[in-house]
Chains A and B, each alone.
Chain A
Amino acid sequence: MSQNILEVKNLKVNVEETEILHGVNLSVGANETHVIMGPNGAGKSTLGYAVMGSPRYEITDGKVIFDGKDITGVSTDKIAKAGMFLSFQIPVEVPGITLANFIKSALEQKTGQRVRYFDFKDKLENAMNILHMDPSYATRDLNVGFSGGEKKKTEILQLLMLEPRLAILDETDSGLDVDAARTVSEGIEAYKKNVGGALLIITHSTRILEALKVDVTHILADGCIVDEGDGSLVDYINQNGFEKYLTAGCR
């Protein structure tokens, strides 16, 4: 019986007729923290979007198994309800719904029940405190006019509130200043601590990893996984870059 929350088997993904991923294999255990690193254009975000079921990313071969169930080709909303979360690199602005109401709706979709207002309000307040977010953001339209940093915090706020079993974080620290990066990092730690879900962190900088215990590091280059290691691989990359992988073959 597999303990893995996620298994990606020989995944091939096209974007607009071009094959971007050429057969990716990876497994994530239920409470583990994985990191995917790689040079620009390697296909890291593609992997995140494809696993999440984005219709723009066409899975031409292989499978995605989430919590023991084959979710290849399943629609995004069902994948989300099953307990997967994707934190966007560039979060979308959605006028007409406030941040609070949006999170409340998402929670209701997930649990299938009405959310009790007072419980929700307290929980939201706590989560916003952890992220040093001004409470007024709760009543602002989702991401509308938010700075890049605030948008990223909103993603992590949703992570804390929705408590997914697996969270894919796509370039979460890009565009963040030192303080914001630290705050986001603290948010991720809080998620680990309170929920204990699995993390799949897509990044090419490692600031936010500093306080996390990384279980497995995957190097993605040219559309496939070219190396795997533990947390020390992150340090190696920090010192040496991706040079050695640029001509390596797929695993």
Chain B
Amino acid sequence: MKEKTQVNDINRSMYDFRYEEKDAYTVDQGLTPEIVEQISKEKKDPQWMHDFRLKSLDIYNQLSVPDWGPSIDGLDMRNIVTYVRPNTTMKGKWNEVPDDIKNTFERLGIPQAERESLAGVGAQYDSELVYHNIKKEVSDQGVVYEGIEDALRGPYSEMIREHFMKLVPPRDHKFAALHGAVWSGGSFVYVPPGVSVEIPLQSYFRLNAPGSGQFEHTLIIVDEGAYLHFIEGCSAPKYNVANLHAGCVELYVGKNASLRYSTIENWSKNMYNLNTKRARVEEGGKVEWISGSFGSHVSYLYPMSVLAGKGARSEFTGVTFAGKGQNLDTGCKIIHAAPETSSYVNTRSISKDGGISTFRSAVVINKNAVGSKSSVSCESLMVDDISRSDTIPAMDIRTAKADVGHEAKIGRISDETLFYLMSRGLSEEESRALIVSGFADNVSKELPLEYAVEMNNLIRMEMKGTMA
């Protein structure tokens, strides 16, 4: 894979830029329509998208910051606003990237070429070659897999318009509105009826600087009877001084279709991860979420499935790891809006070193969702006595003809297991790391091997990190 050359002379101007803006800042504190206009122009948006962005900005200004859940006081909106401007000169410098990020790259064996991109300092990471090869393979089946910005200007523009932010409307919450105004980059996938995509599509190959993925929009439409497995993210930490991730994922699963959406998120520990992910499943369809959440300082993450057609199904398998200084509020929401729908949630959370992990689930069963079933299970592992784990289940059941269950378990690392592993010569540290990564096997066994291995390495590294 080639690596594009870095453009070094931009670094200096970052400082100049700051001085310039210092005065302007007092006047121009927030996100203005002008900035959004610039973004839209830069991206050559079709008119409808241009209007959409401005409308979203409006809504953003009307809504207030959520006051439940972890505090997001540390969110620096100035940086973020600066960052989203087109041709932003706000590119970081490698030597300013925190040491722990660099150490993680080292320990995970991330190739140098990728490190800079992941750290938001690099120029393009050129994985174009791999990306194009995959594209070609699936396009023969009629599958569309493109950058969403490009797709907006092509033959699928109307399809995108019909679906874009309909599952997650800007009015939903402040950061959905923000996303609607400044979104940038992401994948668009369309799978035609009856097509089964044998190889998983991976968005990793589309890593583009600067600071890719922070306001990314993923839109996936799987048409009737089709099948797709889509994988996003990676275990390597992603860092940026602009510390907000307000992405959006919208998944449309057609009649009798099936979509498996796997993701590993590992945002650096200065980040606020306020991602919104939703799926809508039609009759006989199925959505499977496989989710590994690591990293980020604060996370609000509640993938939601709307089971809109008879017999639709949602399965959610997740693991969350909250370490020192992290407050991860994650969970899952399912709306049963049709008869005989079913949902299954299996999450595990690990908290360590004072980390806080909160699992919020909401199962809503509408009056017409007769014959529906839901089973939610949340298991927590507390590695020490100073960490915290909470489960907050909510169930709103409006018909007597439904079967709903919730199970929660909290435990510690078993002394007996620890002793067993140590009795084979594994050190205490090794043994703990093994037990914890084994605990995350509900997710790792659903991931392709290389992701599972990466995830296990990440966990073991996290476990050993502070014990040195």
Q: A and B, one complex? A: yes
Task: Decide: B424 and A95 in contact? CB cutoff 8 A.
Answer: no
Task: Decide: B441 and A141 in contact? CB cutoff 8 A.
Answer: yes
Residues of chain A contacted by B440 (CB below 8 angstroms): 96
In this assembly, does B364 line the interface, its C-beta being within 8 Å of a C-beta of chain A? no
Shortest CB–CB separation between residue A148 and chain B, in angstroms? 16
Chain A residue nearest in CB terms to B415: A56
Residues of chain A contacted by B427 (CB below 8 angstroms): 77, 109
Task: Decide: A92 and B422 in contact? CB cutoff 8 A.
Answer: no
Shortest CB–CB separation between residue B321 and chain A, in angstroms? 14
Task: Decide: B419 and A96 in contact? CB cutoff 8 A.
Answer: no
Bound state CA distance, A96 and B415, in angstroms?
17
In this assembly, does B103 line the interface, its C-beta being within 8 Å of a C-beta of chain A? no
Bound state CA distance, A105 and B439, in angstroms?
18
List residues 398-419 of chain B with CB under 8 A from any CB of chain A: 414-417, 419
Task: Decide: B415 and A76 in contact? CB cutoff 8 A.
Answer: no
Contact with A along B410-446 (1 / 0, CB 8 A): 0000111101111111111011001101111100100
Shortest CB–CB separation between residue B290 and chain A, in angstroms? 16
Task: Decide: B426 and A54 in contact? CB cutoff 8 A.
Answer: no
In this assembly, does A224 line the interface, its C-beta being within 8 Å of a C-beta of chain B? no
Task: Decide: A95 and B438 in contact? CB cutoff 8 A.
Answer: yes
In this assembly, does B330 line the interface, its C-beta being within 8 Å of a C-beta of chain A? no
Q: In the complex, which of the residues B416, B424, B425, B456 contacts A96, with contact meaning CB atoms closer than 8 Å?
A: B456
In this assembly, does A158 line the interface, its C-beta being within 8 Å of a C-beta of chain B? yes
Task: Decide: B426 and A106 in contact? CB cutoff 8 A.
Answer: yes
Query: With A75-B428, A92-B416, A96-B444 given, is the CB distance from A86 to B423 under 8 Å?
Result: yes
List residues 78-106 of chain A with CB under 8 A from any CB of chain B: 80-81, 85-86, 88, 91-92, 94-97, 102, 105-106
Chain B residue nearest in CB terms to A102: B424
In this assembly, does A182 line the interface, its C-beta being within 8 Å of a C-beta of chain B? no
Bound state CA distance, A92 and B416, in angstroms?
7
Chain A residue nearest in CB terms to B427: A77
Task: Decide: A92 and B417 in contact? CB cutoff 8 A.
Answer: yes
Chain B residue nearest in CB terms to A80: B425
In this assembly, does A52 line the interface, its C-beta being within 8 Å of a C-beta of chain B? yes
Task: Decide: A106 and B439 in contact? CB cutoff 8 A.
Answer: no
With contacts defined as CB atoms under 8 Å apart, how many contacts are there between chain A and chain B in the complex?
68
Q: In the complex, which of the residues A56, A77, A92 contacts B426, with contact meaning CB atoms closer than 8 Å?
A: A77
Bound state CA distance, A35 and B371, in angstroms?
61
Bound state CA distance, A109 and B434, in angstroms?
14
Bound state CA distance, A217 and B394, in angstroms?
61
Residues of chain B contacted by A85 (CB below 8 angstroms): 423
Bound state CA distance, A92 and B413, in angstroms?
13
Contact with A along B102-144 (1 / 0, CB 8 A): 0000000000000000000000000000000000000000000
Residues of chain B contacted by A68 (CB below 8 angstroms): none
Query: With A77-B426, A77-B427, A106-B426 given, is the CB distance from A94 to B421 under 8 Å?
Result: yes
Contact with B along A89-128 (1 / 0, CB 8 A): 0011011110000100110011000000000000000000
Task: Decide: A109 and B415 in contact? CB cutoff 8 A.
Answer: no
Bound state CA distance, A240 and B439, in angstroms?
48
Task: Decide: A77 and B435 in contact? CB cutoff 8 A.
Answer: no
Task: Decide: B428 and A106 in contact? CB cutoff 8 A.
Answer: no
Task: Decide: B422 and A80 in contact? CB cutoff 8 A.
Answer: yes
Query: With A52-B423, A56-B415, A76-B423 given, is the CB distance from A96 to B428 under 8 Å?
Result: no
In this assembly, does A145 line the interface, its C-beta being within 8 Å of a C-beta of chain B? no
Shortest CB–CB separation between residue A47 and chain B, in angstroms? 15
Task: Decide: A95 and B423 in contact? CB cutoff 8 A.
Answer: no
In this assembly, does A156 line the interface, its C-beta being within 8 Å of a C-beta of chain B? no
Task: Decide: A91 and B415 in contact? CB cutoff 8 A.
Answer: no
Residues of chain B contacted by A81 (CB below 8 angstroms): 425
Task: Decide: A77 and B425 in contact? CB cutoff 8 A.
Answer: yes
Task: Decide: B423 and A96 in contact? CB cutoff 8 A.
Answer: no
Most chain B CB within 10 A, of A55, A94, A102, is at: A94
Task: Decide: A96 and B422 in contact? CB cutoff 8 A.
Answer: no
Chain B residue nearest in CB terms to A108: B425
Task: Decide: A94 and B434 in contact? CB cutoff 8 A.
Answer: yes
In this assembly, does A162 line the interface, its C-beta being within 8 Å of a C-beta of chain B? yes
Task: Decide: A96 and B437 in contact? CB cutoff 8 A.
Answer: yes
Residues of chain B contacted by A86 (CB below 8 angstroms): 423
Residues of chain B contacted by A102 (CB below 8 angstroms): 424
Residues of chain A contacted by B428 (CB below 8 angstroms): 75, 77
* 8 A–B contacts, CB within 8 A, in A order: A52-B423, A81-B425, A94-B417, A96-B435, A96-B439, A102-B424, A106-B424, A162-B424
Q: Identify the 3 closest CB pairs spanning chains A and B, nearest first.
A: A96-B438, A109-B425, A106-B424
Starting from the known contacts A52-B423, A95-B438, 6 additional A-B residue pairs (CB-CB under 8 Å) come to A75-B428, A77-B426, A94-B417, A94-B438, A95-B439, A96-B456
Query: Which B residues fall within an 8 A CB radius of A?
Result: 414-417, 419-428, 430-431, 434-435, 437-441, 444, 456
